[in-house]
Amino acid sequence: MSSALILDRAAGPWRLGMASAKLQVRGRLPGAFGFDLAADTYRAARSAGIPAADLVRLALPGSWMVNNKVPSPVFHRWLQPGVQGVWTRVVDLLDGDSDRWLARSELERGELRERLAVLAAIDASARNIPQGQPATGTACGISKVLALLCPDTVPLMDDAALWFALGAVPRPDNADTPTATTDLFVPMLDWFARAVRSNAAALTELAAGYTLAPMSPAQILDRLLWFETWGFRVCRTPTPWWWVAEGEREAIVPAPGPGPAPASPGARVDLTTVADEAWRATARDGLAGVFDSAA
């Protein structure tokens, strides 16, 4: 059994346990399953030498499988001939794995920021956002395309993940209106790459044992990050998952529904305030499983 993952983040270290169970729950969601298989096909296509700009044509609609909120008029603009070179260079700069990304020079990082800003400006124009104002949510939208083309470097950058990792946006109440601009893209790439490296052994073991789709250690972390920050709110059957805390311990664990009513959807439940003794005991056992043993 893999050890629990330890994720350094803005609010302090986070212990991610029960990883195998979380991967299984997520992997059976229809969109997630299709997205994972598509990413494997894109990996094979890239290895076969198909140009990145050609694969973008497929990755744009493919990103809708993980609820990309970028509308088709933006896709239309992003697919114009003059934008092909932008996508090609972005994929080139993100090619490889975590080690390769962290070795990128500041010049290369600056070049990536510039290319992403071009895509963001096209997004803003297509959505008739006044000139000079950023297109909010573009970090999320672009990441869901690039996670198919550069799966060992780019995680899904929903606001929930950016809140969790960087503390750079408010904790969202819904997934329909992402707010982050592309300014957060490079900081999130750095955070993700370091998290992959620091948890390499456990992630490699989890990837080897995952059978629903071929995935790399970095992809495993990305899927778990989604579950830990947003997916636990969505995955309510057969057993709901909860963010629970007791003392200094907190984690995402399963416990029966309907359970206590948190202050807001998906908010942390302090076990010391739960009157239902049986429910509290089940959640406490989940915490013990995360902190005392394995993923």
Q: Is residue 220 part of a domain?
A: no
Q: How far apart are CA 118 and CA 124, in angstroms?
A: 10
Pairing of strands 241-246, 269-270: parallel
Residues 151, 34, single domain; the answer is yes
Is omega for the bond preceding 238 within 30 degrees of 0, making it cis?
yes
Residues 24, 156, single domain; the answer is yes
Closest CA to 185 of 156, 212, 206: 156
Residues 142, 282, single domain; the answer is no
Q: Is residue 83 part of a domain?
A: yes
Question: Using an 8 Å Cβ cutoff, are 191 and 129 in contact?
Answer: no
Residues 70, 159, single domain; the answer is yes
Q: Is residue 229 part of a domain?
A: no
Residues 246, 133, single domain; the answer is no
Q: Is residue 277 part of a domain?
A: yes
Q: Which of 167, 198, 229 is the last residue of a domain?
A: 198
| Alpha carbon separation from 161 to 29, 143, 156, 229 (Å, rounded) | 19, 12, 8, 6
How many domains does one find in the chain? 2
* β-bridge partners, 3: 294
Determine the straight-line distance between the first and last CA of the chain, rounded to whole angstroms. 7
What does pTM read for this prediction?
A: 0.95
Residues 103, 248, single domain; the answer is no
Q: How far apart are CA 238 and CA 256, in angstroms?
A: 9
Residues 128, 184, single domain; the answer is yes
Q: Is residue 4 part of a domain?
A: no
Residue 129 CB partners (closer than 8 Å, separation 6+): 135
Residue 243 exposed, middle or buried by CB count within 10 Å (0-12, 13-18, 19+): middle
Q: Is residue 216 part of a domain?
A: no
Residues 246, 184, single domain; the answer is no
Q: pLDDT truncated to tens, each residue of the chain (295 aa)? A: 567 899 999 899 999 999 999 999 999 999 999 999 999 999 999 999 999 889 999 999 999 999 999 999 999 999 999 999 999 999 999 999 999 999 999 999 999 999 999 999 999 999 888 887 777 789 999 999 999 999 999 999 999 999 999 999 999 999 999 999 999 999 999 999 999 999 999 999 999 999 999 999 999 999 999 999 999 999 988 899 999 999 999 999 999 988 998 888 889 999 999 999 999 999 999 999 999 864 4
Residues 78, 173, single domain; the answer is yes
- SS3 label, residue 163: helix
Dihedral, CA atoms, 283, 279, 223, 214, nearest 10 degrees?
Answer: 90
Residues 257, 175, single domain; the answer is no
Residue 165 CB partners (closer than 8 Å, separation 6+): 7, 9, 10, 188, 191, 192, 195, 225
Share of the chain above pLDDT 90, in %: 88
pLDDT at 265: 80
pLDDT at 133: 79
Please give the helix or strand (H or E) that residue 158 lies within, else none: none
Q: Is residue 118 part of a domain?
A: yes
Q: Which of 172, 198, 224 is the last residue of a domain?
A: 198
Q: Where are the alpha helices (DSSP H) in the chain?
A: 19-27, 30-47, 52-62, 72-78, 84-94, 98-102, 106-126, 138-149, 159-166, 185-198, 200-209, 217-226, 232-234, 277-292
pLDDT at 295: 47
pLDDT at 136: 79
Residue 159 exposed, middle or buried by CB count within 10 Å (0-12, 13-18, 19+): buried
Residues 168, 256, single domain; the answer is no
pLDDT at 263: 80
Give the phi and the psi of residue 242 in degrees, each rounded to 5.
Answer: -140, 150
Question: Using an 8 Å Cβ cutoff, are 40 and 214 in contact?
Answer: yes
Residues 31, 177, single domain; the answer is yes
Pairing of strands 241-246, 249-254: antiparallel
Q: How far apart are CA 270 and CA 286, in angstroms?
A: 14
Dihedral, CA atoms, 74, 79, 82, 86, nearest 10 degrees?
Answer: 90
Please tell me what DSSP assigns to residue 4.
P
pLDDT at 293: 62
Domain span at residue 163?
A: 19-198
Q: Is residue 179 part of a domain?
A: yes
